[in-house]
Amino acid sequence: MGNTLDGLTDAQRDAVTRSAETLLIAGAPGAGKTEVLARRLCWASREQHLEPHRPLVLARDAYGCAALAARIETLLASPHEELSVYTVSELCERLTAEQARAAGIDELAPVLSAAERLALLLERVQQLELRHHDFRGRPLALLAAIVRRIDRLKSELVDAQAYAAATSDGEEREREFAELFIAHDELLAEHGALDRGGQLIACVRTLRREPQIASEIALRHPLLMVDDWESRSLGERELLTLIAAGGARLTATGDARTGDEGVLALATRYPLAAVVDLTESLRCPQAVLSAATALDPDSARGASGRPAQDREVARFWRCASLRAEAQRTAAELARLTRLEAVEPQRCAVIVRTVATDGPVVAEALGERGVPHRVLGASAFFERIEVRDVLAWLRLLIDPRDAAAVVRALSRPPIELHAVDVARCLQLARRRKLDMVSALAVALASPQLPPEARERIAAFLDLQRAAAAALDEERSDLFVHRLIERLGLRRHQLFSARADDVERLVNLGRLEELAARHVRALPRSTPREFAAYAAAVAESGIGEPEVSDAGPLPGVVIASARDVAGREFDHVFVLTSAEAHDAAGLRALASASTRARERLVLSCAPTSSHSAANGARRPATAPDLDRARAALGLEWEEVEEQLFGPAAALHALFGERRDELLDSVARVGARLGELRFDTDLDVTHVVVRLLELVKLAALLERRAEQPLLEALADINARLTAAATPLAREILLSSPLDELLTGQQAAERVPARAAEEPSLIPFLPRRGDGLVLSASDVEAYRACPLRYKFARVLRIPREPTLNQRFGIVVHQVLERYHQRSATDDGAAAMLRLLDLAWRRAGLGEVGEERQLHAKARAALLRYQARLEGAEGAPRATAGTPRWFERSFSFQLGPHMLRGRVDRIDELPGGGYQLIDYKTGMPKSAEQLREDVQLALYALAAREAWQIEATERTYYYVLDDERVSLGHEDASPTWVEEAVSRAGAGILAQSFEPTPSRAVCAMCDYRIACPAAER
């Protein structure tokens, strides 16, 4: 062990060597509080001869534990027993294992994760009597929110009984939640399991009841060291103070905040405690601390930062859209990593939430070829390799899950061409078969080339073998064998890339997850595990990622919570333009103080409309504006950029590099087979390598050299080095055409350029297309989603909300067609019951909830429409047409559709009304809405009437959102149709991920942009 005090500041030395019984170390972000904790342990070991494993050290999370243990071991550099560095959850696990009898719990009871408990609740969802918790068509999201709330309450030591007692006289919604809370705990008890919150409550109760347990702990661990006190929940703080009451000497670190949760609040409990204040930040430049203090005054109260030479330490961006923000972030990171040689892992993009913003930022970084890694619980199920297995699990339990089958067919080891996938989907639709059965039929189809049939046969072999074991094997064994059969592990082993090592780790974790599932629910089968994994992936509740103390490969994309305790040279904090609450400001300040060198604070509008349509409306976050003003800086306005040629080259390079590594593994695996075309396979790999060299050479060419000139030169050199066969393949490759023919912004993706055309599957009519308003909307929102839904037409089971929406539309349509003598309200209810039964909807759970909503909404609609007593007429107009269809030519395209209702207005003109059953949107959110603008155009073109009003009628909420007439500019809507039509005809189906659109996308499992 070297000198434990080397390299410390005076204040840090003081903190390390203080001999107080209780020591509170408060300090600025980056002041080295955790380092002091590590050194203090080593000091105690050296000066007080306390063996290193005896201090009980509590870190913030698994990453904090790994980092702290690694640091202590480096400092000790001598043999010792395993250190006692834990998270509070691990400590509780140990305590309940040791004191199970005193705690009154089963020592072998498994501790279920949030995801596992969500799966249990999902099984019971039909029996949950919910009247005041709205499913809004997303039961998983509602259940995930319920599980999170239960976890929060338990972390504050509130159990189900306490909550029920506290709310017994309260609102009905809260009483209903209390019942859910009880049902959740009963489910746990039924399975003989616990959750982390329950374990914490049990530990606190045991220590309160039997304080001698704390004294026993103090004998084993005379020193209790707690890092990041302010991040502890109320329950954790109570547990730790109960342990300290047993006689252990307490050292706690935390920021200098003044509230109850701050480390300084312990001074009231321990009046004799010594306090050391580390006011000097060794990590953050002063500008970063000032920005953080302006956001949350407590975060760096009274702290001083490092002086910085760089004038651009802090910057403030005001972005027109999320896409603009992601693009600028990616451009800056590309510049930093390439021109300033900053290692990507020294940079972080801290997003609002990983689930929603992660894909947008990852896509932009991917376009620039910047290596990156998404961190966080929800990211695990979005890893490519995990999604590959997930797709197989999903199709095995449900062969009708066409999106999962499409992914399995498109990915290794099958890799069927998109056009052949489209043919199989067509077959499934025509014969009304599930996808797996359709593939069996496709084997005999003359439409498919022999190579495609071979691939389908391979798929079916795998599917049959795995399906046979679905109810037989143990889940962990099943998942292990599935991964082996798919060759996913073998595939990764051929690669030397760091992220492939991580992929292997993730595959291992998936097996671990299955093993844990078996331990928690011993009677469960692989089928149940598959259903569980699919539900958890869908819910976004996630699984915590593996944490180690080492740097992560690539730029980190994470939420503020997931980077706590880490530091980076360059930090980009992306936030919404709305005002934040106190917790939000605290998270923003904490995220900002992760920066060692430079900090960018950025805001962008986050409404679903702007996210989906890329609306260019800069908005200012008031909190960021305060920080900007405190630093005397200006906003930098950030607009969306067209994709630049250099970025296109980088993206192409990355794409081709990944393809090459994939094909190396595949071709290598096939070399042992008896085949006549092995040399062709190998030559193709060589040509791909030569193309990669070509792209690298283009990227490295002199700045002033035109691309065409450089390309000719590079081609001459490459063809001279190639064999005759390789030369022939190289010369016929579409790469050069791709590089020279298209503007980078409109480039056809490399993969698509090599794929056979999907033209036969487009809705062609003459030179144009047949389009509806929803087609145009779908393409604008995400071209890839359009391809899945309208070109490949991947079948999907309509969701409950979609079936519900159809029922409401049908009832209204039939209602308006009924005989005039029919009694209004009775007719409406009769039609509702009829349509409800026809749609196969029932009367339990969410369906009952929806039925009650529909009943109330339709009766209200009827009363208003008929001007019944007490109910004002619905509109100032007179209904003239219902469900009126249109069809008209716009440029080369045929536009078709149907308007729900058209009212004639008293002052002349007409109001177009579209019924909606979803959540109401504001007129602002609907500013660039295509549907009603296109209907207004249709009214003029097809019916020769002028639509002076355009209205969305949210039937369930009885809310009308009128868009007026002035925005119904035919020009922009014509342009929107023309752009969408041209894109579809050019088969330009690049994904454009956005939080609003991806959250509602049924094809996430098949989408490459939704994976990390």
**Which residues of the shown chain bind ligand SF4 in the complex (CB under 6 A)?**
782, 784-785, 991, 993, 997-998, 1001, 1003-1004, 1007, 1009-1010
What backbone phi and psi angles, to 5 degrees, belong to 138?
-130, 75
Task: Give the shortest CB-1004-to-ligand SF4 separation in angstroms.
Answer: 4
Contact 285, 569 (CB under 8 A): no
Task: Give the shortest CB-785-to-ligand SF4 separation in angstroms.
Answer: 4
Which string of b and e fits 953-989 if b means at least 16 CB within 10 Å?
A: bbbbeeebbbbeeebbeeeebeebbbebbbbbbebbb
Tokens 């959250």 belong to: 999
Q: How, if at all, do strands 878-890 and 893-904 pair?
A: antiparallel
Task: Give the shortest CB-755-to-ligand SF4 separation in angstroms.
Answer: 17
Task: Give the shortest CB-1002-to-ligand SF4 separation in angstroms.
Answer: 8
Taking the least distance from each CB to ligand SF4, the nearer of 381 and 568 is 381
- Helix, strand, or coil here: 757? coil
Contact 45, 238 (CB under 8 A): no
**Torsion sign (Cα): 49, 53, 58, 61:** positive
Kindly state the helix (H) or strand (E) to which residue 22 belongs, with its residue range. Answer: strand 22-27
User: 3-class secondary structure for 882-938?
Assistant: EEEEEEEEECCEEEEEEEEEEEECCCCCEEEEEEECCCCCCCCCCCCCHHHHHHHHH
Rounded to 5°, the CA angle 32-33-34 comes to 95
Taking the least distance from each CB to ligand SF4, the nearer of 114 and 1007 is 1007
Task: Give the shortest CB-974-to-ligand SF4 separation in angstroms.
Answer: 25
Structure tokens at 9: 């500041």
Task: Give the shortest CB-789-to-ligand SF4 separation in angstroms.
Answer: 9
Task: Give the shortest CB-334-to-ligand SF4 separation in angstroms.
Answer: 22
Taking the least distance from each CB to ligand SF4, the nearer of 646 and 750 is 750
Taking the least distance from each CB to ligand SF4, the nearer of 804 and 1003 is 1003
* 176-183, Cβ contacts within 8 angstroms, sequence gap of 24 or more: 176/129, 176/130, 176/131, 176/132, 176/133, 177/133, 177/146, 177/149, 179/129, 180/128, 180/130, 180/133, 180/146, 181/150, 181/153, 183/121, 183/124, 183/128
Tokens 């604008």 belong to: 780
Task: Give the shortest CB-998-to-ligand SF4 separation in angstroms.
Answer: 3
Q: Rounded CA gap, 148 and 51, in Å?
A: 40
The secondary structure of 146-162 as a DSSP string is HHHHHHHHHHTT--HHH
Determine the angle formed by the axes of helices 475-486 and 450-468, rounding to 10 degrees: 160
Structure tokens at 791: 């070109």
Taking the least distance from each CB to ligand SF4, the nearer of 384 and 630 is 384
First to last CA, the chain: 42
Task: Give the shortest CB-572-to-ligand SF4 separation in angstroms.
Answer: 22
What backbone phi and psi angles, to 5 degrees, belong to 877?
-95, 175
Taking the least distance from each CB to ligand SF4, the nearer of 193 and 1010 is 1010
Return the closest-CA partner of residue 298 out of 350, 263, 273. Answer: 263
Structure tokens at 396: 């095995």
Taking the least distance from each CB to ligand SF4, the nearer of 469 and 999 is 999
What backbone phi and psi angles, to 5 degrees, belong to 574?
-100, 125
Kindly state the helix (H) or strand (E) to which residue 568 belongs, with its residue range. Answer: strand 568-576
Q: How, if at all, do strands 22-27 and 56-58 pair?
A: unpaired
Taking the least distance from each CB to ligand SF4, the nearer of 50 and 384 is 384
Rounded to 5°, the CA angle 772-774-780 comes to 110
Contact 291, 316 (CB under 8 A): no
Taking the least distance from each CB to ligand SF4, the nearer of 178 and 360 is 360
Task: Give the shortest CB-519-to-ligand SF4 separation in angstroms.
Answer: 33
Q: Which amino acid is at 298?
A: D
User: For residue 904, with 0-12 CB atoms within 10 Å meaning exposed, 13-18 middle and 19 or more buried, which class applies?
Assistant: middle
Tokens 């069809």 belong to: 887
Taking the least distance from each CB to ligand SF4, the nearer of 358 and 768 is 358
Taking the least distance from each CB to ligand SF4, the nearer of 315 and 785 is 785
Taking the least distance from each CB to ligand SF4, the nearer of 784 and 800 is 784
Query: Residues near 688 by Cβ (< 8 Å), separated by ≥ 6?
Result: 656, 659, 660, 663
Q: Rounded CA gap, 366 and 655, in Å?
A: 9
Taking the least distance from each CB to ligand SF4, the nearer of 122 and 782 is 782
Task: Give the shortest CB-997-to-ligand SF4 separation in angstroms.
Answer: 4
Taking the least distance from each CB to ligand SF4, the nearer of 596 and 1004 is 1004
Give the HSE-up count for residue 597: Cα atoms under 13 Å, Cβ half-sphere: 10
Q: Rounded CA gap, 784 and 990, in Å?
A: 6
Contact 262, 229 (CB under 8 A): yes
Task: Give the shortest CB-697-to-ligand SF4 separation in angstroms.
Answer: 32
Query: Residues near 86 by Cβ (< 8 Å), separated by ≥ 6?
Result: 56, 57, 58, 59, 65, 94
Taking the least distance from each CB to ligand SF4, the nearer of 323 and 688 is 323
Taking the least distance from each CB to ligand SF4, the nearer of 119 and 997 is 997
**Torsion sign (Cα): 430, 436, 441, 442:** positive
Taking the least distance from each CB to ligand SF4, the nearer of 850 and 1006 is 1006
Task: Give the shortest CB-782-to-ligand SF4 separation in angstroms.
Answer: 3
Task: Give the shortest CB-1008-to-ligand SF4 separation in angstroms.
Answer: 8
Taking the least distance from each CB to ligand SF4, the nearer of 478 and 989 is 989
Task: Give the shortest CB-581-to-ligand SF4 separation in angstroms.
Answer: 29
Task: Give the shortest CB-788-to-ligand SF4 separation in angstroms.
Answer: 6
